[in-house]
């Protein structure tokens, strides 16, 4: 299923907030998490796929290996917690909208 880059970025921002608050005490985001958000935002903006698929389903992996590992760690931690903190975003993310 296809999703908008704006919705994907908003979901990622919320995931990073959950992750950074728990792991780094970030409020607002720490420098490392801000860097990851900026990198992800730029990757989304430059994505050649139209309409954009979920990154895990995309044939073009545009994240560098180190950034891809970092974003996976964030998603692995924050993904399950999204349902409690941001249920509508979590549902949209799971359904691919």
The rounded Cα 59 to chain-centroid distance in angstroms is 18
Mean pLDDT of 61-84: 91
What's the whole-number mean pLDDT along residues 66-74?
Answer: 94
pLDDT of residue 93: 67
| pLDDT level of residue 1 (50, 70, 90 thresholds) | very low
Q: Which residue has the tokens 């950034």?
A: 67
φ/ψ of 55, rounded to 5, equals -55, -40
Q: Over the Cα atoms of the chain, what is R_g?
A: 13
Residue 86 has pLDDT above 50, yes or no: yes
Note the pLDDT tens digit of each residue in 16-68: 999 999 999 878 999 999 999 999 999 988 888 777 777 777 787 889 999 99
């Amino acid at each position: 299923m296809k999703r908008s880059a704006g919705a994907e970025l908003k979901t990622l921002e919320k995931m990073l907030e959950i992750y950074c608050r728990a792991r780094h005490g970030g409020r607002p985001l720490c420098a490392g998490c801000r860097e990851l958000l900026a990198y992800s935002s730029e990757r989304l903006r430059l994505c050649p796929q139209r309409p954009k698929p979920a990154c895990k389903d995309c044939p073009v992996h545009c994240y560098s290996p180190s950034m891809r590992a970092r974003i996976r760690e964030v998603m692995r931690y924050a993904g399950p917690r999204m349902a409690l903190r941001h249920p509508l975003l979590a549902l949209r993310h799971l359904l691919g909208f």
